[in-house]
Amino acid sequence: MAGRGDTHIEDDRFDALAAEELSKQHAWAEPCQRCRERVRTLEQRIGYTFRHVPLLFKALTHSSYAHENAEHGLRHNERLEFLGDAVLGLVLSEHLFRVFYMRWEGELSLMKAWLVSEHNLAAIAQHINLGYYLFLGIGEETSGGRTRVALLADALEALIGAVYLDGGLPAARALIQRLFAEKLATVDIDKAQINYKNALQRTMHPRAHCELRYVVAATSGPEHQRQYTVEVRVDSHVLGRGTGSSKKEAEMNAARDALERLASEEVVLVQAVSQTSSPELGAKT
């Protein structure tokens, strides 16, 4: 457990991170009182009170609103979304690694992929009514942006990123465990619902901007019992390989193989981080 001095060091470090982010991005430097009152209920819903309130406003600012208000120097939430995606992945990977300590990497990968699926992130965002609090441009507002699945999923990740900057990893972990409690309780069963190709696409999104390609590498067997071997690639790099009696089945199996390989790399990373990082990472909440 971290001592009092260690805690102060961590507080100072995250105060500096938050201040740096706000100074760089000019994110709602002085939110108006009406705006503060609007988001106070969101803080109550998520069980976390921001020390640096402008970070919360930045997390709620969609790019459409920032572009329409560019003269005020506002910035959108996409940087926080990027950070939140990484924090969410670490916290969930660590949780699965600790709880399901007898499971192989492929199962852990499927569990995580299901947890962070766009559908689940949007469902959690809807549960806390996150769409209501977002700052959207006129066009996004009129086209139903407050209920759009992708937009809500991205906003939830931005919110997690803001909590991480404001309160550090312990605060972000506690938030994620609260928001994902029901999903974590059923993940071992519900992982069977995963669409491997969609899961791989989402997993690869923060790692590379290259398009995933599914290439038939080989075929075998007679016409009525054809077997396909498919490779999923990024550029010339093969991420995974799968076989099946149809191209669709082979593509799904290739995506699953890729997820298992990526999970093997990530679980080793999480184990190393858990052993060598700050005391907060190893603490259970």
Task: Report the CATH fold assignment for 196-276.
Answer: Double Stranded RNA Binding Domain (3.30.160)
Question: What amino acid occupies position 155?
Answer: A
**Is 211 in the active site?**
no
Specify the DSSP element, H or E, that contains 157.
Answer: helix 149-179
Q: Which CATH class is domain 4-191?
A: mainly alpha
- The active-site residue out of 81, 157, 166, 231 is 157
- The active-site residue out of 85, 94, 166, 231 is 85
Segments making up each domain of the chain, as ranges? 4-191, 196-276
What is the structure's pLDDT at 71? 73
What is the structure's pLDDT at 273? 44
What is the structure's pLDDT at 75? 83
Cα separation of 17 and 135, whole Å? 24
What are the pLDDT digits (tens) for 101-132?
Answer: 888 877 888 889 889 988 899 999 999 999 99
Residue 69 tokens read as 């208000």
**Mean pLDDT calculated for residue range 39-62:** 92
Instruction: Of 195-204, 205-214, 246-255, give the lowest mean pLDDT range.
Output: 205-214
Using only C-alpha atoms, the chain has a radius of gyration, in whole angstroms, of 21
Residues 6 or more apart in contact with residue 4 via CB below 8 angstroms: none
What is the structure's pLDDT at 267? 45
Q: For residue 246, is it left (φ>0), alpha (ψ between -120 and 50) or beta?
A: beta
**Is 11 in the active site?**
no
Cα separation of 112 and 107, whole Å? 9
What is the structure's pLDDT at 151? 93
Share of the chain above pLDDT 70, in %: 77
What are the pLDDT digits (tens) for 151-181?
Answer: 999 999 999 999 999 999 999 999 999 999 9
pTM exceeds 0.75:
no
Whether residue 80 is predicted with pLDDT greater than 80 in this model: the reply is yes
Strands (E), the chain: 212-220, 227-234, 237-244
